[in-house]
Chain A
């Protein structure tokens, strides 16, 4: 069964349909990639799915339950976590504290215990610290745990966001360009990380421009152009789809690509 079901999702900004009737599903243990040229509506789609924007049309379902129109914090509690294209880290905190914030939902603590510094509150903090260290290790950032987030590189911050999303204990993970700003070695690490996350049975939805990464790890690819879904399928189906080639490269570019292949 699919974890995440998106049905006919759409939103307009000032008469322009940024996302127009998009339908797709993301299954547990799979990597579903959303690709498309700049401005195709990929990030807008993520913002709709994660509740940052309210959709004009369509439905979002998690594990068969309708969660359309729910605010982000309730979607998070339903098991959805995400990262952001334009980084949303907490720069004043250390890398470790950033990730510990992701433990909010699993922390069992009340305000009074927190104010009084009761043992129950400290135990929760200690547990969160352990979970956050483990997530940092997975993201390859354990050496930077105590550094302020503002001192990390772009690629490291991208992975910090993944670690922060992971500790929420999510079942669905939306990753918006996780490999942006990464060098070849780091991209390989991100590749392994995402692969490992999917292996655990989480549904991963990925926006990414690095086509080699996309083709390597996706189980399923959805192609957007001008807000609409123009193709969907396995990587090998998408690679040879003429519509996709036209949208991505333009007719001229497609001819060039073919010439290069010949």
Chain B
């Protein structure tokens, strides 16, 4: 079966399955978070899993999407357009920042994105007149309920956001899988394994890396816009360093090489804090432990490790 179609069917089935078993709005809200994180982490998969580049500032792009969606409507811009502008802005910033950095090989992207993420977070925290400062701000505007009313469906707000974010996660995954099996996707994966060989085959390594970085920034920004709209409230923490680390941890835990890894990582690290309320107090510690244990026990992540196990059982 075509890999993109397979991805679509599996993820769409999961979205529907969630809706069938969820007993209350609370579950829909957690499910919404899972799909938003899946979308953002799929962007990390493109960058880290396909090309092998680490960004430690992706929360910055997430925040650009979220705050654009929160701020622009108060200047008369419709919410959907605001979200699109946020995503475009994040992509543009990534393209501008990425191009000079990605000419160099090595850790430069991780360090530069770390700085960029901190800058964005500081602006969001300090410029209270625009962003509400550390207290955050209310997001006015579109409610997904209205969308469903158009077709005569009367859903609760939490349910309607669940469907919208689930749709975005499925689309995001399908696009990423399409890319992975395409000419440019092969170029990206070639760079992952050997950029010397990739360039000897005519691949413009700096350009390809910059493209992947831009794509992943847009994924993060769209996820940020969805969070702003679904939550109705955002704080600068969405752009904080810990959020960047959280996204990378989700990708690494699930397995950065595939979109299913993104889903599994996002699911575990989003649902776990809801199940174990003590998690909140030890969040940083647990993220660190997950990262270390994954690196020691299954370096390629949970999904590839389970696939290997299943293959060995069959033999």
Asked if A109 and B182 sit within 8 Å, CB to CB, the answer is: yes
Q: In terms of DSSP, what is the predominant structure of the interface of chain B?
A: helix
Asked if A116 and B175 sit within 8 Å, CB to CB, the answer is: yes
Q: Which residues B289-311 have CB closer than 8 A to chain A?
A: none
Q: Using Cβ atoms and an 8 Å threshold, which residues of chain A touch B175?
A: 115-117
Query: B276 to nearest A CB, angstroms?
Result: 35
Asked if B183 and A117 sit within 8 Å, CB to CB, the answer is: no
Given A117-B4, A168-B202, 8 more contacts at CB 8 Å? A72-B199, A73-B199, A101-B190, A101-B198, A104-B202, A105-B202, A111-B211, A124-B183
Stretch at the interface among A21-29, A77-85, A188-196: A77-85
Tell me if A12 counts as interface (CB < 8 A to partner B): no
9 tightest CB-CB pairs across the interface, nearest first? Answer: A114-B182, A117-B178, A76-B202, A88-B197, A90-B193, A105-B202, A72-B199, A107-B183, A88-B194
Tell me if A244 counts as interface (CB < 8 A to partner B): no
Query: B79 to nearest A CB, angstroms?
Result: 24
In whole angstroms, what is the CA distance A113 to B205 when docked? 20
Tell me if A100 counts as interface (CB < 8 A to partner B): yes
User: Number of contact residues on B: which range applies?
Assistant: 20 to 34
A103: which of B183, B204, B211 is its contact (CB, 8 Å)? B183
Instruction: Report A's interface with B, CB cutoff 8 A.
Output: 50, 52, 71-73, 76-77, 81-82, 84, 88-93, 97, 100-105, 107, 109, 111, 113-117, 121, 124-125, 128, 164-165, 168
Asked if B179 and A91 sit within 8 Å, CB to CB, the answer is: no
Q: Using Cβ atoms and an 8 Å threshold, which residues of chain A touch B200?
A: 50, 52, 72-73, 76, 81-82, 88, 165
Given the known inter-chain contacts A73-B203, A164-B201, please indicate yes or no for A93 contacting B189, CB distance below 8 A.
yes
Asked if A89 and B201 sit within 8 Å, CB to CB, the answer is: no
List 25 contacting pairs A-B, 8 Å CB cutoff, sorted by A.
Answer: A52-B196, A71-B199, A72-B200, A73-B205, A81-B200, A84-B197, A88-B197, A89-B193, A90-B190, A91-B193, A97-B189, A101-B186, A101-B189, A101-B190, A101-B203, A114-B178, A114-B184, A115-B182, A115-B215, A116-B178, A117-B4, A121-B182, A121-B183, A125-B183, A164-B201
Asked if A109 and B184 sit within 8 Å, CB to CB, the answer is: yes
Asked if B202 and A77 sit within 8 Å, CB to CB, the answer is: yes
Interface string of B9-37 (1 = CB under 8 A from A): 00000000000000000000000000000
In whole angstroms, what is the CA distance A4 to B234 when docked? 61
In whole angstroms, what is the CA distance A113 to B185 when docked? 11
Instruction: Determine which residue in B182, B199, B200 has the highest number of CB atoms from chain A within 10 A of its CB, and name it.
Output: B200
Query: A97 to nearest B CB, angstroms?
Result: 6
In whole angstroms, what is the CA distance A84 to B196 when docked? 10
Asked if A105 and B201 sit within 8 Å, CB to CB, the answer is: yes
Q: Using Cβ atoms and an 8 Å threshold, which residues of chain B touch A52?
A: 196, 200
B193: which of A93, A102, A164, A168 is its contact (CB, 8 Å)? A93
Closest to B190 in A: A101
Q: Using Cβ atoms and an 8 Å threshold, which residues of chain A touch B196?
A: 52, 72, 84, 88
Instruction: Determine which residue in B182, B183, B194 has the highest number of CB atoms from chain A within 10 A of its CB, and name it.
Output: B183
Tell me if B181 counts as interface (CB < 8 A to partner A): yes
Given the known inter-chain contacts A105-B202, A114-B178, please indicate yes or no for A128 contacting B193, CB distance below 8 A.
no
Closest to A105 in B: B202
Tell me if B192 counts as interface (CB < 8 A to partner A): yes
Q: Using Cβ atoms and an 8 Å threshold, which residues of chain A touch B189?
A: 90, 92-93, 97, 101
In whole angstroms, what is the CA distance A91 to B196 when docked? 14
Closest to B257 in A: A92
Asked if B199 and A114 sit within 8 Å, CB to CB, the answer is: no
Asked if A100 and B201 sit within 8 Å, CB to CB, the answer is: no
B183: which of A82, A88, A128 is its contact (CB, 8 Å)? A128
Asked if B187 and A101 sit within 8 Å, CB to CB, the answer is: yes
Asked if A90 and B184 sit within 8 Å, CB to CB, the answer is: no
Q: Which residues B179-237 have CB closer than 8 A to chain A?
A: 179, 181-187, 189-190, 192-194, 196-205, 211, 215
Asked if A90 and B194 sit within 8 Å, CB to CB, the answer is: yes
Asked if B197 and A90 sit within 8 Å, CB to CB, the answer is: yes
Q: Using Cβ atoms and an 8 Å threshold, which residues of chain B touch A102?
A: 201
B203: which of A91, A100, A104, A113 is its contact (CB, 8 Å)? A104
Q: Using Cβ atoms and an 8 Å threshold, which residues of chain B touch A104?
A: 183, 186-187, 190, 201-203
Query: B39 to nearest A CB, angstroms?
Result: 14
A125: which of B181, B194, B204 is its contact (CB, 8 Å)? B181
In whole angstroms, what is the CA distance A84 to B194 when docked? 11
In whole angstroms, what is the CA distance A194 to B212 when docked? 37
Q: Using Cβ atoms and an 8 Å threshold, which residues of chain A touch B178?
A: 114-117, 121
In whole angstroms, what is the CA distance A168 to B197 when docked? 12
Query: A253 to nearest B CB, angstroms?
Result: 35
Asked if B183 and A109 sit within 8 Å, CB to CB, the answer is: yes
Q: Using Cβ atoms and an 8 Å threshold, which residues of chain B touch A89?
A: 193-194, 197
In whole angstroms, what is the CA distance A115 to B181 when docked? 9
